[in-house]
């Protein structure tokens, strides 16, 4: 053993020349972090071409945003078997092109991490990002750690991680601990590697088993608190909910990996990017630190349920993901919208949530369609989700997408006399398609029609591929619920509704008048610049912000308000006094007290079958 450890410690360039030609060997050194950078050393497979392009992803599956990881790469160097430098240039898309590549034996580089980046002009959703906190926490999302040679994406990878001995690595991958300071793990391809994040931290772990699925929980945070057992207890409850909802569990092992942030801005530049990212056998979370998990259920169930779509059922665009020139699938309605719907209905299925809560959530989701552009096609939006407009609309997949999936589920139940739902359709398609058997993107609607009927195909063509609005009244009637398009009352106010929307990286508030005769004289499309002299950005980030915003939302008769808006390129000041104005609320879902037994039976099939 002593000889083995000495050999591994000395395993550098000369030993790597004899490396097998069909595998990457990559050394990641997190034991020696210098200037907040980590060094990566790569012994690639044999290259037979004159040039080799080392690709760092533009984006990674599941994030639907541009990352451009090459921006955080520093001091890239390539050498031949005699340790002589090889020429390196940048491609048109800024990747690293190695000349005389047939002689390539080794390349290396240093990395900044994304959590605290302030200089690389890179914005990465934290659960997909990287963090290098010396001697403390390391988030290794491999899309931001490792580059691969273009054309050699499907070659196996062996990763060796040298780390401080007090840190423990957690992942869905099998991490072999060679010594106190050296770990190694394997991935079958670059896709598998990106699908398998690794988290290093002080040991704070727990585990449990639900329906034969072995689940690991690891919590990374500053300090010495032990919170993983508490998180595991809560997660076990949610995993049982999932097991009751699904006909069978598609995985035998799973890992929940948590980075629990304590508010240190030196290690996290943009804490607003909290959330989670799914993987085939794990999910990674960036959340605020809490000894007891609060509100974890919705997000954990959603991420776990991604084991159905897209992880077990997906198109060729996802299976053979092009990290350099991403081609997006047209089925975000399935991957994200359906998953969000399943995460909402699963607790109803096992009676841990009441139907009333589900109905209110779908009602809220239904209202989000007010922010959709005219002639919105879900499939076209999905294809172009990386565009600026697509990024602005992306949050709609979790609201409009979820209610759309709910309606599709009802349509399928109604068309099959309650015998089959959307979940059953997915499981049926999983028999012919799986993690390594993708479907053609354009064929999905035909595949669904084959296991259902033409009525279901019509819904897909008209309301998902097509641009027809959701048939709320017709669908809700099937399960004994009523759709109420609009309700009007009179209240004290200014006759305005603030609509919050994301434009690029900027949060924008657009004023929507409920009445053209509103006291402020606002017009549809007015963009809020300031309120009571306070700029919009300060309204979001100051203690006084909520109080000022409430002057617009809940005023009393006679209250005065001054706002500045941008209208058709001009900046205008609007003043007004609160009066009794028309208040319009739209898109209500109500239970029909006259629902027939057949309608109630179909509703029960949707929720409980």
Determine contact, residues 552/499, Cβ cutoff 8 Å: no
Residues 63 and 196 in one domain: yes
520 lies in some domain: yes
Q: Which of 266, 295, 324 is the last residue of a domain?
A: 295
Q: Which of 183, 201, 219 is the last residue of a domain?
A: 201
Instruction: Compute and round to an integer the Cα radius of gyration of the chain.
Output: 27
Residues near 598 by beta carbon (within 8 Å), at least 6 away in sequence = none
Residues 337 and 380 in one domain: yes
User: Phi and psi (nearest 5°) for 468?
Assistant: -70, 140
Residues 412 and 515 in one domain: no
State the pLDDT at residue 20.
Answer: 45
How far apart CA 242 and CA 210 sit, in angstroms, is 10
Cα atoms in the Cβ-side hemisphere of radius 13 Å centred on 1: 4
337 lies in some domain: yes
365 lies in some domain: yes
Q: What's the order of all strands across the beta sheet hosting 275-278? A: 205-210, 213-220, 253-261, 282-288, 275-278
Count of other CB atoms within 10 angstroms of residue 548 = 18
Residues 419 and 392 in one domain: yes
Residues near 211 by beta carbon (within 8 Å), at least 6 away in sequence = 239, 240, 243, 249
How far apart CA 444 and CA 421 sit, in angstroms, is 16
Residues 73 and 220 in one domain: no
**Beta strands 148-149; 137-140: pairing state:** unpaired
Residues 286 and 266 in one domain: yes
Q: From residue 132, how far is each of 173, 186, 325 by CA, in Å?
A: 20, 22, 28
Q: From residue 493, how far is each of 216, 356, 544, 564, 575 by CA, in Å?
A: 52, 30, 20, 17, 13
Residues 96 and 191 in one domain: yes
Q: What is the DSSP letter of 230?
A: H
SS percent in the chain: helix, strand, coil, step 5: 35, 30, 35
pLDDT digits (tens, 9 = 90+) for 87-121: 999 999 999 999 999 999 999 999 999 999 888 88
Q: In angstroms, how far is the first alpha carbon of the chain from the final one?
A: 57
Residues 176 and 325 in one domain: no
Determine contact, residues 332/550, Cβ cutoff 8 Å: no
Q: How many helices (H) and strands (E) does the chain have?
A: 19, 28
4 lies in some domain: no
Domain that holds residue 414: 308-480+592-609
How far apart CA 357 and CA 349 sit, in angstroms, is 13
As to burial, measured by CB atoms within 10 angstroms (0-12 exposed, 13-18 middle, 19+ buried), residue 533 is exposed
DSSP string, 541-553: HSTTHHHHHHHHH
CATH number at residue 239: 3.30.2010.30
How far apart CA 104 and CA 79 sit, in angstroms, is 6
| Residues lower than pLDDT 50 in the chain | 1-20
518 lies in some domain: yes
State the pLDDT at residue 14.
Answer: 35
Exposure pattern of 184-213 as b/e (b: 16+ CB <10 Å)?
bbebeebbbbbbbbbbbbbebbbebebeeb
Q: Which of 295, 317, 332 is the last residue of a domain?
A: 295
Maximum distance among all Cα pairs of the chain, rounded to whole angstroms: 85
CATH number at residue 166: 2.60.40.3650
CATH number at residue 563: 2.30.42.10
Determine contact, residues 339/425, Cβ cutoff 8 Å: no
Residues 450 and 340 in one domain: yes
How many residues can be counted in the chain?
609
H helix runs in 132-270, sequence order: 190-194, 228-245
Q: Which is nearest to 45 in space by CA: 26, 31, 60?
A: 26
Q: What SS3 string covers 356-394?
A: HHHHHHHHHHHHHHHHCCCCCCHHHHHHCCCCHHHHHHH
319 lies in some domain: yes
Q: For residue 187, list its beta bridge partners.
A: 157
H helix runs in 136-286, sequence order: 190-194, 228-245
303 lies in some domain: no
Residues 473 and 500 in one domain: no
State the pLDDT at residue 10.
Answer: 38
State the pLDDT at residue 313.
Answer: 94
pLDDT digits (tens, 9 = 90+) for 458-476: 999 999 999 999 999 999 9
Q: Which is nearest to 393 in space by CA: 420, 369, 360, 417?
A: 369
Q: From residue 434, how far is each of 314, 426, 522 by CA, in Å?
A: 8, 11, 53
Q: For residue 462, list its beta bridge partners.
A: none
C-alpha dihedral sign at 518, 520, 525, 530: negative
Residues 108 and 160 in one domain: yes
pTM: 0.86
How far apart CA 589 and CA 480 sit, in angstroms, is 11
Determine contact, residues 317/328, Cβ cutoff 8 Å: yes
Q: What is the DSSP letter of 69?
A: G
Q: Which is nearest to 565 in space by CA: 528, 536, 518, 532?
A: 528
Domains held by the chain: number: 4
State the pLDDT at residue 542.
Answer: 72
Residues 446 and 513 in one domain: no
How far apart CA 22 and CA 24 sit, in angstroms, is 7
How far apart CA 454 and CA 432 sit, in angstroms, is 20
Residue 185, SS3? strand
State the pLDDT at residue 269.
Answer: 83
State the pLDDT at residue 8.
Answer: 44
Here the tokens at position 599 are: 């309608």
128 lies in some domain: no
């Amino acid at each position: 053993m002593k000889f083995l450890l000495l050999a591994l410690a000395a395993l550098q360039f000369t030993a790597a020349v004899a490396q097998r030609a069909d595998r990457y060997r990559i050394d990641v050194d997190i034991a020696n972090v210098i200037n907040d950078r980590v060094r990566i050393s790569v012994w690639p497979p044999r290259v037979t071409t004159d040039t080799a392009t080392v690709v760092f992803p533009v984006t990674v599956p599941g994030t639907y945003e541009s990352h451009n990881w090459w921006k955080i790469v520093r001091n890239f160097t390539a050498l031949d078997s005699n340790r002589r430098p090889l020429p390196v240039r940048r491609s048109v898309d800024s990747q690293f092109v190695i000349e005389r590549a047939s002689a390539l034996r080794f390349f290396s580089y240093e990395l900044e991490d994304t959590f605290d980046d302030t200089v690389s002009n890179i914005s990465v959703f934290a659960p997909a990002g990287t963090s290098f906190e010396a001697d403390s926490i390391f988030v290794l999302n491999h899309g931001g750690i490792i580059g691969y040679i273009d054309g050699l994406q499907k070659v196996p990878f062996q990763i060796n991680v040298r780390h401080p001995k007090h840190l423990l690595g957690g992942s869905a991958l099998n991490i072999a601990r060679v010594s106190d300071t050296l770990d190694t793990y394997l991935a079958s391809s670059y896709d598998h590697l990106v699908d398998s994040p690794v988290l290093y931290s002080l040991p704070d772990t727990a585990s449990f088993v639900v329906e034969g699925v072995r689940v690991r929980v690891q919590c990374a945070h500053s300090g010495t608190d032990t919170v993983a057992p508490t998180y595991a207890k809560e997660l076990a409850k949610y995993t049982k909910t999932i097991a009751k909802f699904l006909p069978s569990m598609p995985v035998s092992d799973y890992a929940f990996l948590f980075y629990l942030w304590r508010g240190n801005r030196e290690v996290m530049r943009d804490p607003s990017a909290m959330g989670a990212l799914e993987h085939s056998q794990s999910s990674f979370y960036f959340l605020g630190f809490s000894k007891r998990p609060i509100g974890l259920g919705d997000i954990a169930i959603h991420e776990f349920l991604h084991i159905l779509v897209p992880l077990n059922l997906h198109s060729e665009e996802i299976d053979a993901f092009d990290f350099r020139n991403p081609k997006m699938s047209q089925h975000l309605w399935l991957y994200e919208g359906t998953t969000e719907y399943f995460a909402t209905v699963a607790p109803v299925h096992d009676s841990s949530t009441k139907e009333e809560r589900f109905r209110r959530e779908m009602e809220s989701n239904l209202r989000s369609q007010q922010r959709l552009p005219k002639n919105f096609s879900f499939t076209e939006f999905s294809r172009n989700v990386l565009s600026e407009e697509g990024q602005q609309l992306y949050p709609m997949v979790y609201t409009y997408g979820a209610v759309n999936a709910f309606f599709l589920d009802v349509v399928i139940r109604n068309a099959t006399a309650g015998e089959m739902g959307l979940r059953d359709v997915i499981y049926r398609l999983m028999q012919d398609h799986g993690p390594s058997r993708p479907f053609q993107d354009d064929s999905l609607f035909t595949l669904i029609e084959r296991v259902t009927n033409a009525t279901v195909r019509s819904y897909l063509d008209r309301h998902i591929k097509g641009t027809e609005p959701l048939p709320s009244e017709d669908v809700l009637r099937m399960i004994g619920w009523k759709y109420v398009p609009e309700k009007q009352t009179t209240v004290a106010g200014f006759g305005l509704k603030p609509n919050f929307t994301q434009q690029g990286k900027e949060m924008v508030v657009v004023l929507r008048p409920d009445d053209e005769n509103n006291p402020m004289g606002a017009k549809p499309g007015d963009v809020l610049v300031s309120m009571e002299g306070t700029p919009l950005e300060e309204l979001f980030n100051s203690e006084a912000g909520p109080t000022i915003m409430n002057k617009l939302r809940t005023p009393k008769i006679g209250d005065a308000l001054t706002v500045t808006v941008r209208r058709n390129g001009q900046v205008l000041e609007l003043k007004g006094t609160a009066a009794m104005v028309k208040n319009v609320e739209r898109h209500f879902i109500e239970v029909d007290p006259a629902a027939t037994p057949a309608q109630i039976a179909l509703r029960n099939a949707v929720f409980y079958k």
